[in-house]
Amino acid sequence: MKMKIEKNHSVINGDRIFLREVELADVNQTYIQWMNDPEVTQYLESRFFPQSMESISAFVKHQIEDPHVAFLAICLNENKLHIGNIKLGPVDVIHRFADVGLVVGDKKFWGKGYGNEAIGLVVKYAFQTLNLNKLVANCYQLNKGAIKAFRKNGFEIEGVWSKHHFCKGKYIDTVLLGILNPNRNDSDEDKID
């Protein structure tokens, strides 16, 4: 069973960025360029298909309408520039976990910690506001920047799917990451040693 996320158009504020809900108005030529740039999408499943105004608008509309997903724009505090997106969900209400995925589409902002800050804000929101038990993410092994950003935010490598995704002409491993809500005190007695 999926958990409904309250879509109240609130903003999650950080030091250099803020997160707000992605809107259909965000789908513009810049967004389309991100999603058709082979370097930006090299670790995204969307890279296999050319993206258009129609396909991206349909995707964004679906995310906006999905009550189990928070699809958030990563925006700079200084000028409100939309530089990427981060997605939380779908949220599973029974097991209280959700996936996290992100893309910093504007390459001028790569390597400057904006993805790291966005992950931190989503972790705080997921644990403090939604009271989730766990967040998970999976990254292509070649996506060292994303793996590093998740690990900086407390995610641990929980496993590897061997030769799971096809990327750059070969099958590569997928790294599975997870983080538990530190405020929940569930028993560890059933843990596998």
Tokens encoding 56 = 């991206």
Q: Supply the pLDDT for residue 13.
A: 96
In a domain, 189, yes or no: no
In this predicted structure, what is the pLDDT of residue 5?
66
- pLDDT category at 6 given cuts 50, 70, 90 is low
Per-residue pLDDT, 126: 96
- In sequence order, the β-bridge partners of residue 20 are 73
Is 124 part of any domain? yes
Confidence grade of residue 193 (pLDDT, cut at 50, 70, 90): low
For residue 174, CA distances in Å to 79, 96, 115, 123, 129 come to 36, 23, 19, 21, 29
Confidence of residue 3 (pLDDT cuts 50, 70, 90): low
> Is 104 part of a structural domain of the chain?
yes
Domain presence at residue 186: no
Closest alpha carbon to 141 in 55, 43, 5, 33: 43
Query: How much is the average pLDDT of 112-121?
Result: 98
Residue 190 has pLDDT above 70, yes or no: no
Give residue-wise pLDDT tens across range 153-182.
Answer: 999 999 999 998 888 889 999 999 999 999
Structural domain contains residue 3: no
Question: What pLDDT is recorded for position 49?
Answer: 82
* 5 lies in some domain: no
Question: pTM to 2 decimals?
Answer: 0.90
Percent of the chain clearing pLDDT 70 (strictly above): 91
Domains in the chain, number: 1
Question: Is residue 187 predicted with pLDDT exceeding 70?
Answer: no
Do the domain assignments include residue 117?
A: yes
pLDDT mean across residues, the chain: 91
Q: Which domain holds residue 41?
A: 12-180
CA atoms of 139 and 75, how far apart (whole Å): 23
Q: Residue 62's domain is classified under what CATH number?
A: 3.40.630.30
- Residue 130: inside a domain: yes
The DSSP output letter for 5 is P
**For the segment 39-89, what is each residue's pLDDT rounded down to a tens digit?**
998 888 777 788 999 999 999 999 999 999 999 999 999 999 999 999 999
pLDDT at position 189: 53
- Could you tell me which residues come within 8 angstroms of residue 155 by beta carbon, excluding any fewer than 6 positions away? 135, 137, 177, 178, 179
Q: Return phi, psi of residue 165, to 5°.
A: -120, 150
